[in-house]
Amino acid sequence: MEDTFVDWLLARLPTDGRLEVPPGDDAAVLRPPAMRRTVVTTDMLAEGVDFLLGDGPGRCRPRDVGRKAMAVNLSDLAAMAARPEAAVVAVTLPRDDGEAIGRELFEGLLEVATAFDVTLAGGDTNAWEGGLVVSVTAIGSVPPGRAWRRDGARPGDAIVVTGRFGGSLLGRHLSPRPRCREAIAIAERFPVHAAIDVSDGLSLDLARLARASGVAAWIAPEEVPIHDDAFRAAAAEPGGRTPIERALGDGEDFELVLAMPADAAEELLAAAPDGVELAKIGGIVAGEGLKQQRPDGSLATLPATGFLHRFDEEAG
Ligand SMILES: [Mg+2]
């Protein structure tokens, strides 16, 4: 199975000038862009953990998995203000129907790669008795010293976010729109002290940024842009979590959270480069942890909510 699948894949991949040696050799050779740093990130999706294949509610197609696997990696590049360049893909296909699943998976991967001008530089394919597992390693570039990091937020910074939050599991999580272009447009014109993308939950990922920076972050809940999906999810589950709780904790929004000087934040909001929807939702103060601003302006502790991977305890 593997050889015919790889032959199909090699024929399917577009040629790209960034590759001195294209896929098909023992390794690919990339021509790195001059005067830029290389940014590398990886993310793995596994059937049964991150998605369920099939038809019906809560299930998805291999093409969706491919799109998402590429997009979540590009979102991590966006969080570093890096320009996407290339990706390598390692995939383990189920033995049953694996070739058809693999083809559909790669059509999804290539759809997003093409949209963001990413060249598929190579990868590895296996088959086994288990479910579909796909790991994408994305490679980007950024001018020296210009990558956004999590650890640079300072007291007095404003917190600015792109897009809207909550309810992504209604379906939006399968086709995330990584904020690569928006990040680069912002990085070119505005000072950003720290950044993170929201994969596990707005409050949880903001708390991670604050902890990495050694500061506290606060949110004004009424300023958080809530996605329509969060209202729909709340309406479908009376007595369940409220729309703002979903916006703060659902995750898989793949939007950006930026900590930046307050005056620069005002200029950014007024400029809205690339037409991106932006909102100022809070700020940074000395201290630690996550807080919410009460209507009287005082700060109260806000528990960070979101998705955490669990490890089962092993005996011994
Ligand atoms: Mg991330």
> Could you read off the pLDDT of 169-219 as tens digits, one per residue?
998 999 899 999 999 999 999 999 999 999 999 999 999 999 999 999 999
Quote the ligand 1 centre to 196 CA distance (angstroms): 6
SS3 content of the chain, % helix, strand, coil (to 5): 35, 30, 40
Domains, the chain, ranges and CATH? 2-142 (3.30.1330.10), 158-301 (3.90.650.10)
Quote the ligand 1 centre to 254 CA distance (angstroms): 8
Q: What is the pLDDT of residue 310?
A: 66
- Dihedral (CA of 208, 189, 138, 106) sign: positive
Instruction: Check if the beta carbon of residue 127 is closer than 8 Å to that of residue 98.
Output: yes
145: number of Cβ within 10 Å: 6
What gap in Å lies between CA 114 and CA 16, rounded to an integer? Answer: 11
> Helices (H) and strands (E) in the chain — how many of each?
8, 13
What gap in Å lies between CA 62 and CA 54, rounded to an integer? Answer: 9
What H or E segment, with its residue span, contains residue 46?
Answer: strand 37-46
What gap in Å lies between CA 110 and CA 14, rounded to an integer? Answer: 9
Quote the ligand 1 centre to 57 CA distance (angstroms): 27
Q: What is the pLDDT of residue 315?
A: 44
Cβ-based burial of 238 (10 A; exposed 0-12, middle 13-18, buried ≥19): exposed
Quote the ligand 1 centre to 75 CA distance (angstroms): 7
Q: What is the pLDDT of residue 1?
A: 59
What gap in Å lies between CA 175 and CA 70, rounded to an integer? Answer: 10
Q: What is the pLDDT of residue 58?
A: 87
What gap in Å lies between CA 278 and CA 281, rounded to an integer? Answer: 9
In single-letter form, the type of residue at position 207 comes to: A
Quote the ligand 1 centre to 68 CA distance (angstroms): 14
Quote the ligand 1 centre to 111 CA distance (angstroms): 21
251-292 tens-digit pLDDT: 999 999 999 999 999 999 999 988 899 999 999 999 999 999
Quote the ligand 1 centre to 1 CA distance (angstroms): 34
What gap in Å lies between CA 107 and CA 104, rounded to an integer? Answer: 5
Distances in Å between the Cα of 142 and the Cα atoms of 15, 77, 145 are: 23, 10, 8
Quote the ligand 1 centre to 139 CA distance (angstroms): 14
Q: What is the pLDDT of residue 313?
A: 52
Cβ-based burial of 95 (10 A; exposed 0-12, middle 13-18, buried ≥19): exposed
Give the pLDDT means over successive 10-residue stretches in the chain (316 positions): 85 94 95 96 96 92 97 98 98 95 97 97 94 98 98 98 96 93 97 97 97 98 97 96 97 97 98 92 98 94 86 52
pTM (2 decimals)?
0.95
- Dihedral (CA of 153, 156, 162, 165) sign: positive
User: Which of 116, 48, 115, 108 shows the shortest CA–CA distance to 84?
Assistant: 116
Instruction: Check if the beta carbon of residue 192 is closer than 8 Å to that of residue 160.
Output: no
Q: What is the pLDDT of residue 168?
A: 94
Q: What is the pLDDT of residue 316?
A: 40
